[in-house]
Chains A and B, each alone.
Chain A
Amino acid sequence: MTAPETHLHFQGRNVGEVILSVEGVSLAFGGVKALQDVSFDVREHEVRAIIGPNGAGKSSMLNVINGVYHPQRGRIRFKERQFTDMDPHEAAVLGIARTFQNIALFKGMSVLDNIMAGRNLRMRSGILAQALRIGPALKEEIAHRQEVERIIDFLELQPYRKTQAGRLPYGLQKRVDLGRALASEPKMLLLDEPMAGMNLEEKQDMCRFILDANDQLGTTIVLIEHDMGVVMDISDRVVVLDYGRKIADGTPDEVRNNQAVVEAYLGASH
């Protein structure tokens, strides 16, 4: 790897070794080629953006990384593990969490329970212990509740703790979605358009939360976002996809001046 040193926004934050690499991934649905021979890598603690016009295969890329889709060709390496064919819950166990473009909250559950559910894979007590809810089961529940409260505090969701998630306004639902993903203490967080449909203030809040998560919790971030200003502002490196192919990869400045990228975006805006 001879990737150039990326510039840093914060002093003290160390972008580390490559944590995820995507190698020659191709994915097709029937005849539709969603991804063609895409390769890139993500370094530990960095903020990595995937951009591209509509239908460029961005969401498919995230879905491949966390095992929702299984690519026909290519492989993925996360930390020391290689795989092509992995179920989403296995990805979660490995430390990959994600949020969804069309918020996929558990609408019938409270905000607290939504975020608690994010910690499910860390909870161990058996069925009988849970049914009796004594001793270790209750202790475990309380310990995790405490962790979840930290996330609620972190995302400033205190007033909504016991509100049913489906009843929250859109911007807050997005925040809960992020909270649920963070609750699993992921190594890497995939964010699918975290700021779509938000107003300026909500976007600023969300940026702050993402950067804080990256900075304070050390979470590696891979995000898809349409708002170019945001992408250029917060990401360390950017991958550009167009029609399922990678057309550029580099720092925000490099990408901004890339001819292929400019053309792809001009072409898409017609």
Chain B
Amino acid sequence: MKRHVPVLVLAAVLLAGLFAPLVLKLSAPGFWTEVLLGGLMAGVLYSLVALGFVLIFKASGVFNFAQGAMVLFAALAVARLSERMPLWVAILLAVAIMVALAWLVERLVLRPLVNQEGVALLMATLGVTYFLDGFGQTVWGSDIYSIDLGIAREPVMVLEKVFEGGILINRDDVAAAVVAIILVGLLALFFQKTATGRALRAVADDHQAAMSIGIPLNRIWVIVWSVAGIVAIVAGVIWGGKLGVQFSISLVALKALPVVILGGFTSIPGAILGGLIIGVGEKMAEVFLGPPLVQMFDLAGGGIENWFAYMLALLFLLVRPEGLFGEKHIDRV
């Protein structure tokens, strides 16, 4: 019980921070809710990318730094392909490309490096990141591209009755959130309920055991990297549709890292919850903490959201290194 205390304290601080603007009447409830919803939506996307990350980590013990690069690569593929074909065909083709990529990664990177330390594998994914960034931009081009999802962009006003002035919501955001939630749900189900999903988890727990019940490790790796690739496509398309497809997407996707720190490297619920906390947290911080900070220190603009997630994760690491749902690790001597 003792070790939960700091976590509870931290949670209390976060919650206090969350509601402070309301309580201190810094913000209208409508605006606050808008920010909250915006944060949640971003958070869902973080969760999505983090899921892909957790998947890979669980199945192959690889800390996949390339997740962001995969999102960028997928988004670029869809964007450029959809210029010549219907969007759904482009997405299907992108799926095929990501599966091929997964297969190549397994063949050329993971298999030769099997049994290496985690840090070496992390560095290998750094290499993959660079390669994908360069390769993607060589093949697909390096301008800013757009993806037209065919959803009307103008925002709608909802809940005018509840809040004064109502809440402005983007339709594509809603659509994106819905898609993301569905995908997160599907993945969670896949992991918890299906035989393959359970097999994937078995691999994470014990490579030997998984092999002994007849699961070929190499195929599992291809599957998880493929799934992670598909998740990347969804995230890429959603973000690409919203922000335009450009290099910065890969940086945004890097936010999945603090998310998994928060949630624990191997926990699916942790990834989901972590994503939401980070999404809401950084939006709230940007909107409500940013301006006072700017004023106080005479800053040249806000931008807290660029680092808030990492600092939060750092703080969290000090308090509880194993993450929200991670397992405590005991060193055997």
Q: Do chains A and B touch in the complex (CB under 8 A)?
A: yes
A contact set with B: CB distance below 8 Å: 29, 59, 63, 68, 100, 104
By Cβ-Cβ distance, the 5 closest A-B pairs, closest first, are: A68-B333, A63-B333, A100-B333, A29-B330, A59-B333
How many A-B residue pairs have C-beta atoms within 8 angstroms? Tell me.
Answer: 7
Minimum CB–CB distance from A147 to chain B (whole Å) comes to 26
Tally B residues with Cβ within 8 Å of A: 3
How far does the alpha carbon of A63 sit from the alpha carbon of B331 in the complex, in Å?
Answer: 11
How far does the alpha carbon of A29 sit from the alpha carbon of B333 in the complex, in Å?
Answer: 14
How far does the alpha carbon of A57 sit from the alpha carbon of B47 in the complex, in Å?
Answer: 43
Are A104's CB and B333's CB within 8 A?
A: yes
A68 contacts across to B, CB distance below 8 A = 331, 333
How far does the alpha carbon of A100 sit from the alpha carbon of B333 in the complex, in Å?
Answer: 7
Residue of B nearest to A29 (CB): B330
A63 contacts across to B, CB distance below 8 A = 333
B333 contacts across to A, CB distance below 8 A = 59, 63, 68, 100, 104
Residue of A nearest to B331 (CB): A68
B331 contacts across to A, CB distance below 8 A = 68
How far does the alpha carbon of A141 sit from the alpha carbon of B292 in the complex, in Å?
Answer: 55
How far does the alpha carbon of A255 sit from the alpha carbon of B331 in the complex, in Å?
Answer: 33
Minimum CB–CB distance from A103 to chain B (whole Å) comes to 12
Interface bits B307-333 vs A (CB < 8 Å: 1, else 0): 000000000000000000000001101
How far does the alpha carbon of A104 sit from the alpha carbon of B332 in the complex, in Å?
Answer: 12
How far does the alpha carbon of A63 sit from the alpha carbon of B330 in the complex, in Å?
Answer: 13
Minimum CB–CB distance from B331 to chain A (whole Å) comes to 8
How far does the alpha carbon of A104 sit from the alpha carbon of B333 in the complex, in Å?
Answer: 9
Residue of A nearest to B330 (CB): A29
Minimum CB–CB distance from B115 to chain A (whole Å) comes to 15
How far does the alpha carbon of A68 sit from the alpha carbon of B331 in the complex, in Å?
Answer: 9
A-contacting residues, B26-41, CB 8 Å: none
Minimum CB–CB distance from B1 to chain A (whole Å) comes to 14
Residue of B nearest to A102 (CB): B333
How far does the alpha carbon of A68 sit from the alpha carbon of B333 in the complex, in Å?
Answer: 8
A-contacting residues, B278-332, CB 8 Å: 330-331
A104 contacts across to B, CB distance below 8 A = 333
Residue of A nearest to B328 (CB): A30
Minimum CB–CB distance from A163 to chain B (whole Å) comes to 23
Minimum CB–CB distance from A166 to chain B (whole Å) comes to 14
A100 contacts across to B, CB distance below 8 A = 333
Residue pairs across A and B with Cβ atoms less than 8 A apart, 7 shown, are A29-B330, A59-B333, A63-B333, A68-B331, A68-B333, A100-B333, A104-B333
Minimum CB–CB distance from A105 to chain B (whole Å) comes to 14
Residue of B nearest to A88 (CB): B333
Minimum CB–CB distance from A62 to chain B (whole Å) comes to 8
Minimum CB–CB distance from B18 to chain A (whole Å) comes to 34
Minimum CB–CB distance from A222 to chain B (whole Å) comes to 15
How far does the alpha carbon of A97 sit from the alpha carbon of B234 in the complex, in Å?
Answer: 56
How far does the alpha carbon of A60 sit from the alpha carbon of B330 in the complex, in Å?
Answer: 13
Minimum CB–CB distance from A71 to chain B (whole Å) comes to 14
